[in-house]
């Protein structure tokens, strides 16, 4: 069952589409839905917000209060978005086409609308996947037919992780000399350096616009990435490959993407709703000598990648700006799908936590060792974590979403 949402200033709409019928429903205006959806997102990511000293819903709140408030708000938002078609849902797979702020909330953690007496996540009774648009699946399946032979020949897994963002990174050689060389190059205004400096300034601009703390030394190195890659690599077959550190570069990526069935990114992901063209994946911005290099994988560059990929995972430190009306996140996933990825898994918020490593490890174990489809594997892992007292909070599992082909 496909559910397509459109948010309007005076009234919003929902279309229900199956192989047999099309129905439409009127929903409240955009501002009402946005207010509730943003509050739901704040409640579910309370751990991150409270760590930054931010309020939730415009008022001080403890983590315990946020946890108790979430089921109420998830039920209230579900009544708006899903109750009109509650009797039609059954146990069907739900393909969601969200609009505006709805692309940043986890539908799988909304309340099952038929359960009025208690909160039960939609995940329990439904497989939930997303699409950036209605036309995406048609384009995707046409491309899959054309790329079928390439995908059959593709190797298993490519990891792109732990890039180098700054000359102050301990992995850069001769940092003191490089600082001097960079200053000299700037004074000489060498064309190539100026182009690279301008490209990397876009990273800083976008990072600031999505609320990421950027110092004069650039983006900080991500923690836990090496643990993540180590655990996943133990599951991967021999023909997997790692592009780590300086090798996690734009040039290396472009030469490798057509050869792998699974591509896994572990770096910063910027979903810029204010300027969607400044959304992107941040790869290495300097080389081993500290010289700047282009490393911002924006939508226009993604479109030009030649992918033969069954699954592309963006387990990134996902940074999403305050403006959630724009297509920052959906623009990224749409770009990868149009470039040839059958499905994209994204994380709607930054967990940067052992829980996300645990989820990803279980997920890859199911698809690489048990040969399960990604959509079934993700749902099973999320159900397992929901039953685990340690990880049952939606914060730990609900942010992982699959977009694209569900078959």
Q: Which domains does the chain show, CATH number per domain?
A: 2-130 (3.30.420), 141-350 (no CATH)
pLDDT of 388 reads 93
Instruction: Output the 3-class SS for 209-272.
Output: HCCCCCECCECCCCCCHHHHHHHHHCCCCCCCEEEEECCCCHHHHHHHHHHEEEEEEECEEEEC
Beta-bridged to residue 59, according to DSSP, are 56
pLDDT of 189 reads 43
- Phi and psi at residue 262, to the nearest 5°: -125, 130
Tell whether the torsion through CA atoms of 252, 255, 257 and 259 is positive or negative: negative
Sheet containing strand 2-6, edge to edge, reads 22-27, 12-17, 2-6, 94-97, 128-130, 400-404, 343-347, 311-314, 260-266, 155-163, 241-245
Beta-bridged to residue 401, according to DSSP, are 346
Query: What is the C-alpha separation between 121 and 77, in angstroms, rounded?
Result: 12
pLDDT of 196 reads 58
**DSSP-derived 3-state class of residue 157:** strand
In the 8-state DSSP scheme, what is residue 391?
Answer: T
Query: What is the C-alpha separation between 85 and 108, in angstroms, rounded?
Result: 16
pLDDT of 124 reads 96
Which contiguous run of DSSP H or E holds residue 65?
helix 63-81
**DSSP-derived 3-state class of residue 10:** coil
Place of tokens 């208690």: 118
CB 27, CB 81: distance < 8 Å:
yes
Q: Kindly give the confidence (pLDDT) of every residue in the chain, 407 residues in length, as a single tens digit, with 9 standing for 90 and above.
A: 999 999 999 999 999 999 899 999 999 999 999 999 999 999 999 988 888 888 898 888 899 999 999 999 999 999 999 999 999 998 999 999 999 899 999 999 999 998 878 999 999 999 999 998 888 888 888 877 766 666 666 678 898 988 998 888 888 986 545 554 555 454 444 454 455 556 578 888 888 888 777 776 778 887 767 777 777 777 776 678 889 999 999 989 888 877 788 999 988 888 888 888 888 999 999 899 888 888 999 999 998 888 888 999 988 777 676 666 667 677 888 899 988 899 999 988 876 678 888 899 999 999 988 989 999 999 999 999 999 999 999 999 999 999 999 88
- Phi and psi at residue 232, to the nearest 5°: -70, -40
Place of tokens 């790329």: 147
**DSSP-derived 3-state class of residue 118:** coil
Residue 55: count of CB within 10 angstroms of its CB: 11
């Amino acid at each position: 069952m496909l559910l397509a949402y459109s948010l309007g200033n005076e009234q919003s709409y929902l279309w229900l589409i199956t192989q047999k019928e099309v129905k439409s429903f009127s929903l409240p205006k955009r501002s009402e839905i946005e207010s509730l959806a943003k509050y739901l997102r704040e409640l579910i990511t309370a751990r991150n917000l409270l760590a930054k000293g931010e309020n939730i819903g415009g008022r001080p709140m403890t983590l315990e209060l946020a946890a108790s408030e979430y089921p109420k708000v998830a039920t209230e938002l579900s009544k708006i978005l899903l109750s009109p078609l509650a009797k039609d849902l059954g146990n069907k797979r739900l393909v969601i086409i969200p609009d505006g702020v709805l692309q940043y909330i986890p539908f799988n953690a909304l309340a099952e609308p038929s359960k009025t007496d208690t909160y039960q996540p939609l995940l329990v009774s439904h497989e939930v996947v997303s699409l950036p648009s209605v036309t995406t699946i048609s384009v995707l399946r046409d491309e899959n037919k054309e790329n079928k032979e390439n995908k059959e020949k593709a190797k298993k897994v490519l990891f792109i992780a732990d890039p180098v963002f700054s000359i102050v990174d301990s992995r850069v050689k001769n940092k003191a000399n490089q600082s001097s060389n960079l200053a000299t190059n700037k004074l000489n205004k060498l064309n190539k350096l100026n182009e690279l400096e301008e490209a990397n300034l876009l990273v800083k601009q976008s990072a600031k616009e999505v609320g990421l703390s950027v110092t004069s030394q650039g983006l900080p190195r991500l923690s836990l990435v090496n643990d993540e890659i180590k655990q996943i690599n133990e599951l991967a077959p021999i023909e997997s490959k790692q592009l780590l550190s300086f090798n996690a570069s734009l040039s290396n990526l472009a030469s490798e993407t057509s050869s792998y069935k699974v591509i896994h990114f572990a770096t910063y992901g910027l979903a810029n709703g204010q300027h969607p063209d400044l959304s992107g994946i941040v790869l290495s911005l300097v080389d081993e000598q500290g010289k700047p290099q282009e490393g911002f994988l924006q939508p226009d560059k993604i479109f030009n990648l030649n992918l033969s990929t069954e699954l592309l995972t963006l387990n990134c430190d996902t940074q999403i700006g305050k403006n959630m009306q724009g297509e920052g996140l959906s623009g990224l996933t749409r770009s990868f799908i149009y470039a040839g990825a059958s499905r994209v898994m994204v994380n709607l918020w930054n967990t940067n936590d052992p829980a996300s490593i645990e989820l990803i490890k279980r997920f890859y174990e199911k698809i690489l060792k048990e040969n399960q489809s990604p959509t079934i594997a993700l749902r099973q892992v999320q159900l397992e974590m929901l039953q685990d007292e340690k990880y049952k909070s939606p914060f730990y599992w609900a942010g992982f979403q699959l977009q694209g082909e569900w078959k």
